Chain A
Amino acid sequence: MPTKTYVQTTINGENVEFLCEPRQSLLECLRDVVQLTGSKEGCNDGNCGACTVMMDGRIVDSCLVLGVEAQGAKITTIEGIAPAGGLHPVQQAFLENAALQCGICTPGFIVSSKALLDKEPNPSEERIRFWLAGNLCRCTGYDKIVRAVEDASAKMSKGKKK
C-alpha cells in the first residue's frame, strides 16, 4: 500500500505536484519536499509565525496546516513575494529601516506585513502592532519592524497616487 498521498497545488503562481505522508505539515512539505526553505520553523505549534504563508488569500501558520490540505489551494511563500526584477516595497523597507537582525523571523514578518498592506494600505501603528502580534521577533524589539511597515505603506500609497 502506498504510504504517500499525491497533492496538486499552486505555489507562487506555479503548478506544483508532490507526494507527502498524511502526517507531514505544509511547512514540512514546503521545506523538505518542495525544497522551498524560506519559510522557517521556530516552534511547530503555531505560536511564532516564522512559517507564515498565504493560503487562498489568508495568512496561515504553515506548521498548522497539513500538506494534504494544500490540494487545489493557492499558496504564496516568501519566495513568491518579490516581483520580477526587484524587491517588494515591504522587503525594501525592511532593508532600509534595518528591520531585521538575525533574519529568521523576517520571512514570516514580510508575508504577514504584505498581507496587511494588501488589505489595508494605510494602517495605524496600533493596527500594525495588532496584525503582527502573531509573529515573534526576539532580536529587534519590533520598533524598526513597525516603522518599516509604516514606511512601506507610505511609499506604496505614494506610488499609487502617481
Chain B
Amino acid sequence: MTTTYEHNVVLKSGDDKFKVIGTRPIRHDGADKVTGRALYGADFQTAGLLHGKILRSPHAHARIKSIDTSAAEKLPGVRAVVTAKDMPQTTGDVSMGEAGAQNVAFLRGNVLASGKALYKGHAVAAVAATSPHIAEEAIGLIKVDYEVLPAALTAPEAMKKGASILHSDLKMTEFGQKTNQVNNIATHFQHKKGDVEKGFKEADVVIEREFTTQTVHQGYIEPHNVAALWNQDGRLLIWCSTQGSFFVRNATAKVLDLPESQIRVTPMEIGGGFGGKINVYLEPVAALLSKKAGHRHVKMVMTRQEVFEGTGPTPGSYMKVKIGAKKNGKIVAAQSYLAFEAGAFPGSPVGAAAMCVFAPYDIANGLIDGYDVLVNKPKTAAYRAPGATHAAFAVETIVDEIAEKLKIDPLELRLMNAAKEGVRRVDGPVFPRIGCVEVLEAMKNHPHYKAPIKGKNVARGVAIGFWFNVGLQSSCTIAVNPDGTVNLTEGSTDIGGTRASLAMQAAEVLGIRAEDVHPTVVDTDSIGFTAVTGGSRVAFATGWAAYEAAQDVVKQMTARAAKIWGVEADSVEMVDGVFRSKTDTELKLSFKDLSEQLNDTGGPVIGRATVDPQGVGGSFAGNIVDVEVDPETGKTQVLRFTVVQDAGKAVHPSYVEGQMQGGSVQGIGWGLNEEYFYGSSGQMANPTFLDYRMPTTLDLPMIDTVIVEVANPGHPYGVRGVGEAPIVPPPAALANAVGHAVGVRMTKLPMSPGTIMEAVWQSKKK
C-alpha cells in the first residue's frame, strides 16, 4: 500500500524551546545491545556456580500429602534440596507499587507450595546441583504424593455454589468489609455515580452484552532468572532481571525474614517485562539453596514452559456491560459487571479495570461491580495497563454498536461524550488536563480514517482506551566530570531505552548534549529507593528525579562560579549551559570550563534528588484498524493500523513510537490469536511459542503513529507516561473491524478463526 503522508507524526502542543527534549539521540546502552555484550540475568557467570531447577505440580489442584527428596539428595552432583518447609512463616504485606500490596503468606505460598498445589506449574521443591542437567535429573527423583482435587478454572465456574474452594481460610471482603463467607471471591467492590436506573430510563437506546476473554501471557522473550549468594557474613546478594530491584529486595526480605539492608539486589539487563517481572518467583528459592549448599552461588533460569505455567499471566475474564444513550448520541448511563480471574492467590487487575472501564467518557450515571475471583491457574501478574484492555474491549464494542444504531460517526459519538478536564470518573477521581479529545480529533483528521475502505470482506474499526499511570518514588544522583560530562546514577531498570530519556531530561537542564550524560542503573546499595519500572512511570518520575538532580548541580555550580569570581551567588545565573554574572558581562564560564575547575575550587560537585511526584498525567490511546476477514476460514489479516496517543511531551519520540507500536502489536496478538488452551483438568495445552503463537513480522503491517502532545501540567517538561495505554484499544478496535466485516458483533477474545466462524454460524441459526 502506498502512502502519501508521514508514517510517524508528532503533533506538538506549541512552540517549545527545548534543545535536547524531543530529539532522537542514539541510546546510551545501544552499542552493548547490538554487539551481544550487554549482560542479562541468565548471562551471570562465576567460578563454582551451582544451577537450580524447580519441581512443579502436574495437577491444577491437589493436596500434597508427602514429599520424599531422599533419592534426589543422593544423586552425585546435587548440593541442596529445598521445599516450603525451609521457609520461615512470616506475615504482613509487601507493597508492589501500582500492582497494590501483596500478603506475604500468599507470596510465600506462590514461591513454594505448602499443603496444596493450586495450579499446574505451581513450584513444589527445588534442587541445586553442579550442572543444570543434574539438577533436572534430580527433580525427577523427588517423589510427591498428591491427592488430586477438582479444579475451578473460570470466574463464573469458581463463583458457583459447590465450586472447589482454593483457600478454605480466606473470607470474602465485600464493600471494604470482611464477611464470614468462604467462597472463591476474594473481593467484591462497587463504584457508583449518579442514579444508573434513572439514567437507563432516560435512554433511547440501551445495549447490553456479555464478554469473555482468555488468559494471555506478557510474552517477554527472556525467561525469569536469578543468581544468588547467601554469604557467610549473612548478607544476601542477588543478581536478576527485574522491573524493580527494590521490590525484589523488599519481597525477598519479607519472605526470608531478613532486614532489607541485609540484601543487595543488582539489576541485570532485562529482556522484557510488561508487568510480569515485578513479582518474585525464584529469588527466595535461590537464596535458600545457596545457604543450604554451603554459601555457594546458585543460578536459576526458567524454561519457556515454566514461564507460561508458573509466571504472569494476565487473567481471563467475564464481563457484562450495559450502556444507554439518547437519540443524539449522548451517553446517559453505563453499568458494568467485571469478574476477573485472580489465579491461585488474590489480586487480579479488576480494581484497575474498574478505574478505566468508562474513563474515556463523561457519564452522569454509572455503576461498576468488580469481583476478584480465585481459580486454579497461575497467580496473575500485571500486564501493561493491567485490566484496562479487557474493559475497553467490552465498552468500546458497545459504544461502537450505539453509534451504528444511531447512525452517528463512531468518532463523533466518542467526541460528543469524551472525558475532559474537570470530569469525574465513575470511580471518583476528577480528571486534570487530559488529551482524550485531542486524540479523538487527531484520529478523525488522520488520512487513514478518511481513506476509502476497498475490497470485499474488508472493514474498519476504531476504539480508544485510557490508562491512569502512576508516580511513586525515584532517586537519582549526578556527578560532574572535569571534562564537562556528567555521570547519572539511577535505580530504574531500563527495559526500553529509559537511560536515554533520563539522560536527556538532565542534559536539557545542564545545557549539555544527551551524549555528555552517562547514565548507569545501579544496585540497591548504591542509590536511594526507586519504585518499579512499571505504571509508565520511569520517564515521568525518575525523569523528574534526573531533572531535580540536574537542578541541584546547577545550583551548586552557580554558587561555585560566584565563589571563583568573588561575587554574591544570587548575582550568577546559568543560561543555555553558560554560567554568567547578571551584572558583569565579562564574567562567564561554560559548563565545560567550570567543570574543569571544580575539583580545585572546593571539591567535586554531585547533585542529588529524590521525588514522589503526585501530578500523574494519565494517557489516552486510540486505534484505527482495517482488516480483511476470510469468510471461508475466519482468518483475519490486519491491513492497516494507526495508533494515536497523548504523550504529554515525547522526550525521545522514537522510543515513544516504539512503545506505541509494541503495545499495539501485543494488543493485536491478544485480540486475534493469543490464549492459554486449558483442558478440563486445568493443564495448559500450549506452553510453547509454537502453540502460544505471538505475532511475527509476517502477520503485521507497519504500525503508523501519531504522537499528540498535550502537556501534563504535573511534570516540569509536561511528560505523561506512555508505556501502557497503547495496549488498551487494539482488541476493541479489531473487534469493531471484524464485527463490521462479518456482520456479527464479536464478544469473545481471542477472535481466532474458530471464534469468528462460530459467531457467524450462531447468527445464521437465529
Contact = CB atoms under 8 A, between A and B. Distances in A.
Interface of A: 21, 23-24, 31-32, 35-45, 47-48, 50, 77-79, 81-82, 87, 91, 94-98, 100-107, 110, 125, 128-130, 132-147
Nearest to A79: B36
A42 B304 contact: yes
Contacts of B273: 102
A133 B697 CA distance: 5
B274 A129 contact: no
B702 A47 contact: no
Task: Give the residue among A36, A78, A98 with the most B Cβ atoms within 10 A.
Answer: A98
A103 B133 contact: no
Given A138-B662, A144-B654, A105 B133 contact: no
Contact of B33 (A43, A47, A103, A130): A103
Interface in B138-152: none
A141 B661 contact: yes
B303 A44 contact: yes
Contacts of A24: 133
Given A45-B690, A102-B221, A143-B657, 15 more contacts: A37-B36, A37-B40, A38-B36, A38-B37, A42-B222, A42-B689, A79-B35, A79-B36, A87-B35, A94-B30, A98-B652, A104-B271, A104-B272, A138-B274, A139-B496
Nearest to A135: B697
A104 B268 CA distance: 12
Contacts of A40: 40, 42, 221-222, 271
Contact of A77 (B36, B133, B223, B666): B36
B221 A142 contact: no
Contacts of B270: 102
| Pairs A-B, 8 closest by C-beta atoms | A38-B36, A104-B271, A141-B665, A103-B33, A78-B36, A98-B654, A47-B689, A141-B661
Given A91-B34, A102-B495, A141-B703, A23 B655 contact: no
A106 B32 CA distance: 11
B697 A129 contact: yes
Contacts of B43: 31, 37
Interface string B688-728: 11100011111010110000000000000000000000000
A94 B273 CA distance: 21
Contacts of A41: 42, 223, 301
Contact of B688 (A43, A82, A137): A43
A116 to B, nearest CB: 12
A138 B30 contact: no
B248 to A, nearest CB: 18
Interface of B: 24, 26-27, 29-31, 33-40, 42-43, 45, 133, 218-223, 269-274, 301, 303-304, 495-497, 652, 654-655, 657-658, 661-666, 688-690, 694-698, 700, 702-703
A138 B655 CA distance: 14
Given A39-B36, A40-B222, A40-B271, A101 B697 contact: no
A110 B38 CA distance: 14
Nearest to A98: B654
Nearest to B705: A143
A65 B213 CA distance: 38
A39 B38 CA distance: 11
Contacts of B658: 98, 101, 139-141, 144
A143 B661 contact: yes
B392 to A, nearest CB: 18
A18 to B, nearest CB: 15
A132 B666 CA distance: 18
A106 B35 CA distance: 9
B211 to A, nearest CB: 25
B667 to A, nearest CB: 10
Task: Give the residue among A91, A97, A128, A144 with the most B Cβ atoms within 10 A.
Answer: A144
Contacts of B698: 129-130, 133
Contact of B661 (A44, A81, A125, A144): A144
B689 A141 contact: no
Q: Chain B interface mostly helix, strand, loop or mixed?
A: loop
Nearest to A91: B34
9 contacts: A37-B43, A40-B42, A40-B271, A42-B304, A45-B689, A50-B221, A102-B273, A143-B702, A146-B697
Given A43-B688, A100-B34, A141 B700 contact: yes
B662 A141 contact: yes
Contacts of A128: 697
Nearest to B301: A41
A35 B49 CA distance: 13
B272 A139 contact: yes
Given A95-B27, A98-B658, A138 B36 contact: no
A40 to B, nearest CB: 7
B194 to A, nearest CB: 39
Nearest to A81: B35
Given A44-B303, A98-B654, A138 B37 contact: no
B34 to A, nearest CB: 4
A44 to B, nearest CB: 6
Contacts of B38: 103
A127 to B, nearest CB: 11
Contacts of B690: 45, 47
Contact of B222 (A21, A47, A102, A146): A102
Given A129-B698, A137-B221, A98 B24 contact: yes
Contacts of A134: 696
B26 A95 contact: yes
B497 A98 contact: yes
A143 B641 CA distance: 11
Contacts of B657: 98, 143-144
A102 B272 CA distance: 5
Nearest to A23: B133
B221 A110 contact: no
Contacts of B664: 141
Contacts of B304: 42-45, 47-48
A78 B702 contact: no
B27 A98 contact: yes
B696 A136 contact: yes
B227 to A, nearest CB: 13
Nearest to A149: B697
Contact of B655 (A38, A98, A103, A137): A98
A98 B304 CA distance: 27
Task: Give the residue among A96, A125, A140 with the most B Cβ atoms within 10 A.
Answer: A140
B665 A91 contact: no
Nearest to A47: B689
A97 B654 CA distance: 8
B497 A104 contact: no
Given A79-B35, A104-B271, A143-B661, A43 B689 contact: yes
A107 to B, nearest CB: 5
B621 to A, nearest CB: 13
A138 B697 contact: no
Contacts of B272: 101-102, 104, 138-139
A94 B39 CA distance: 19
A82 B30 CA distance: 14
Contact of A138 (B34, B42, B219, B703): B219
Contacts of A103: 29, 33-34, 38, 269, 271
Contacts of A101: 272, 495-497, 655, 658, 662
